[in-house]
Homo-oligomer: A and B are copies of this chain.
Amino acid sequence: MPTLRIALAQVNSTVGDISGNAAAVRRWSRQAADAGAHLVAFPEMMLTGYPIEDLVFRNSFVETSRRALTTLAADLAADGLGELAVVVGYVDADGPPAISADAVPGTGRRDASALLHRGAVVATYYKHHLPNYGVFDEDRYFEAGDTLTVVRLGGVDVALTVCEDIWQAGGPFTAARRAGVGLVVNINASPYELNKDDVRLALVQRRAVEAGAAVAFVNMVGGQDELVFDGDSMIVSAGGELLARTGQFSEELLVHDLELPEADTTPNASADPVEPVEEMRIARFDAGLVADLSGEPRAGGVAERIEDEAEIWSALVLGLRDYVDKNRFRSVVLGLSGGIDSAVVAAIAVDALGPERVTGVSLPSGYSSGHSRDDAADLAKRTGLDYRTEPIQPMVDTFLANMSLSGLAVENLQARVRGVILMALSNQEGHLVLTTGNKSELAVGYSTLYGDSVGGFNPLKDVPKTMVWQLARWRNTQGDPPIPENSITKAPSAELRPDQKDSDSLPDYEILDPIIKGYVDHDLGRDELIAAGNDPALVDRTLRMIDLAEYKRRQSAPGTKISGKAFGRDRRLPITNLFREGL
């Protein structure tokens, strides 16, 4: 049985930075070659970044991707890396990309994986299963491939597949069994969700057994708008055994020696498929690669899994860092109220960017308590961020002197004056403004539009309030605690009127969050929520608040998705909607 040394390049590509991404492929391919690898696999859409969304409709973009691929093949050879087989994702088109976006259906665009060798594009595969649920719109963008691409490499038949191909039964993995391949390379841009790593492992194991072939699964790492890709690349044997696995949330090159069946003697070449064959054609290529092993045997090792809080914290840190860096912001600014949300966002920002790139602003009003200011100052001291105070009362008083306002209008006014100050600091000093509303607040609309909701990015957008506390407590156990204990333990308050508490307007978050999770994340209706043990009156009140806050969410800042269903592209509801549960 031949042995192939496989390298999985779990790297961070950037949407639209095609030349930068190609340079990264050359850099990591050099490392893979230095490690003696025969094959290195990069993530889905490595050259273009993922998701490119409607950029796919621009011919100039697709043509740049296609040209970059052939240039890359030549550059790798010029780099002396021609003998290395490089699998890389990019966007392709059927023929010259002359098809306009108006041509519906059939965009002519392909989510493609190419194998580069000796300066040439040896073979190309087009993704077969296109996800069109959750955050994915791939039926909008791509046409599905109908041919499994098999390349002979060092005596082994290797099939190319892309991401969703592994999530749905039938198609490529069934065809891979029919083709009798020894290895399936599955390149991914699979976004993070809490506990998705557990699902992925079981899935890769299942498909390996179905295909009767080892599977090399490589995933992207990095943040892209509301998504964060966590890596978690792995190699599984044909028998379903986990052989090697990377960690999450950082770039990594996994190198592993894999003994694989010689192509001509593959035992299951004519085996019956384990499930009904969805007919895909099989196209075969030969890369003419000779797989000599050099140096010591390599085993990739299996990285340990990390606990939930660490996983989420890392996702939030990476999501923020990449949004800031990829969009070329030097620094961020946020309001520090002394409360838990802004304290946690500040701690995430400092972990992501370092304290010198984070400015925290205390924005006290006449209703701000003493402890609010003390807790904000304490946080600044603990984290080392740049701290200043901008009192809002003079501006609030001027508005009140010039307009007749009362009640809610006065409360919102204070939040909006804070928003104006933060945006003025952003304009004057170039910071990105961070907003800090958690998922529970966003759900029920407990925020002021254009007030505390101002900002270009929201790290807590998909984090329920109860999880914000959980994260704060966890983070304080990791080295020096950045978050003041008082910010964690005190009762939450917007401090927009005397002695205001969140609990004046909202159920306790321990009661609220499960209702939100049922309604938002799981689409449960009123009856199902009540059957699950929630109080009927609270269910009615909460659902009504959630329904009526849709217009605020539509104008909310982007933020990192960490759950099964985040606000944003993941949950698309009409604003105008008279459906009321239970009526």
Contacts and interface: CB of A to CB of B under 8 A. Distances in A.
Interface size class of A (residues with CB under 8 A): 35 or more
A30 to B, nearest CB: 23
Nearest to A322: B576
A509 to B, nearest CB: 24
B523 A59 contact: yes
Interface in A548-583: 551, 554-558, 564-565, 569, 571-581
A505 interface: no
Contact of A399 (B18, B58, B326, B420): B420
Most buried by B among A18, A139, A323, A391: A139
Contact of A556 (B61, B404, B555): B555
A405 B423 CA distance: 11
Interface in A3-37: 14-18, 20
Interface stretch (A49-57, A208-216, A302-310): A49-57
A528 B578 contact: no
A327 interface: yes
Given A58-B525, A224-B576, A416 B405 contact: no
A382 interface: no
Interface string A190-209: 00000000000000000000
B225 A57 contact: no
A492 to B, nearest CB: 22
Contacts of A408: 427
Interface string A387-416: 000110011011101111110110011001
A399 B405 contact: no
Contact of A406 (B54, B428, B578): B428
A252 to B, nearest CB: 22
A120 to B, nearest CB: 26
A272 interface: no
A576 B326 contact: yes
Given A139-B139, A398-B395, A16 B55 contact: no
A526 interface: yes
A421 B409 CA distance: 10
A132 B454 CA distance: 33
Given A100-B523, A105-B133, A554-B558, A427 B409 contact: yes
A525 B66 CA distance: 15
A54 B575 CA distance: 11
A60 interface: yes
Nearest to A17: B578
A571 B58 CA distance: 12
A15 B140 contact: no
A15 B523 contact: no
Given A15-B574, A57-B523, A556-B555, A424 B398 contact: no
A4 B205 CA distance: 61
A261 interface: no
A403 B390 contact: yes
Contact of A132 (B52, B139, B399, B528): B139
A419 interface: yes
A427 B412 contact: yes
Contacts of A450: 419-420, 423, 450, 454
A512 interface: no
A273 interface: no
A408 B426 CA distance: 11
Interface string A324-346: 00110000000000000000000
A137 interface: yes
Contact of A424 (B399, B556, B572, B581): B399
A104 B64 CA distance: 33
Interface in A332-369: none
A101 interface: yes
Given A14-B578, A404-B428, 15 more contacts: A15-B579, A53-B574, A54-B523, A60-B526, A61-B579, A102-B564, A132-B132, A391-B402, A394-B401, A395-B399, A399-B424, A408-B427, A409-B424, A423-B449, A569-B572
Closest 8 CB pairs of A and B: A60-B525, A16-B579, A409-B427, A17-B578, A16-B578, A16-B577, A409-B428, A398-B398
